[in-house]
Chains A and B, each alone.
Chain A
Amino acid sequence: MQEPKKAEQQSSDSMEIVELDERLDMAFDPLSMIAAIKTGPPNTNCNNTQCCGGGKPM
């Protein structure tokens, strides 16, 4: 029973000093997200590396 008690004490000690989260108030860029959603996944059937390097958007 000594070991769990010791571990619990150590855990409690380490929790006496807690770093608070960095507060970064974020805002997603709606335009690029809409553009990404509208573009959709790349169409890998296109292998023309001259026009778009393959993976032409659908």
Chain B
Amino acid sequence: MELVEAIVLAVLAASTPLLIAATGELVTERAGVLNLGVEGMMIVGAACGFAGAWLTGSTTLGALCGIVAGTLLSLIFAMMTLGLAVNQVATGLALTILGIGLSGLIGAGFVGEKVTPAAHLHIPGLTDIPLVGRILFGEDAFVYLSLALLVGVWLFLYRTRAGLVLRAIGDNHVSAHALGYPVLKIRLFAVMFGGACAGLAGAYLPLAYTPFFIPGMTAGRGWIALALVVFSSWRPGLLVVGAYLFGAVTILQLHAQGAGFGIPSQFMSALPYLATVIVLVLISRARTGGSTAPAALGTVFVPDR
């Protein structure tokens, strides 16, 4: 039973950065913008988040640094793709390359340092309930925040007028423009929200997941977050299922490595990446009746005034 509890806790921790980054990207993509730079924004968020927390001694300020860094990078992306109508795929790749370089520069001075990991919630009585206590009432703030963020995004997209406008812009920017909605402005906000989430997700890694910074520590999580958005069919409800499923794959392969079934560890480490490919194939195959992607996803929009 102890082991089950430990595994669930580890799965939640491993899933949280995926969930946060994917929630942000979901909003960006729902507005019709494909930002492939999630990995780059995440890794800069990780470096800045760690730097901020190490310098100030505060996890909250560190997380804020990560958010600001991710948002700033997403602004470069917005300037290029919204302002100058540049191809979104290529710009996203450029953002990732730049992000990996920048995080190395920023983080170089912090390799080998440690910070106090994010505090876990403790409610006397509730947290001490056997089995479920620590899982429900003993997480760090990021885990609760990620779920609140997801519910907030769901409410925004499906229960507010602004959310409806955002989805309309993602499906048909020409019609939305003709109706007088500010397509580029709303897309700018959506891109910035995606950047802020990616930065926060990156900051989670050195602030709560492991209390130190390693160059390249996102290890493709930004790309997996992008795959999760596809997996979810751009719906928040399925996103949380996907994120926890991937967290589970990550943790189970770690445990399998520990147990050692005679399978080389590299094969187990490759599992999350192979699972992503397989899931993408299965989900695309199931959708033979037409795509569920926002119709204008990835296309440039130049208003004709």
A is bound by B: no
Binding site for B on A (CB under 8 A): none
Binding site for A on B (CB under 8 A): none
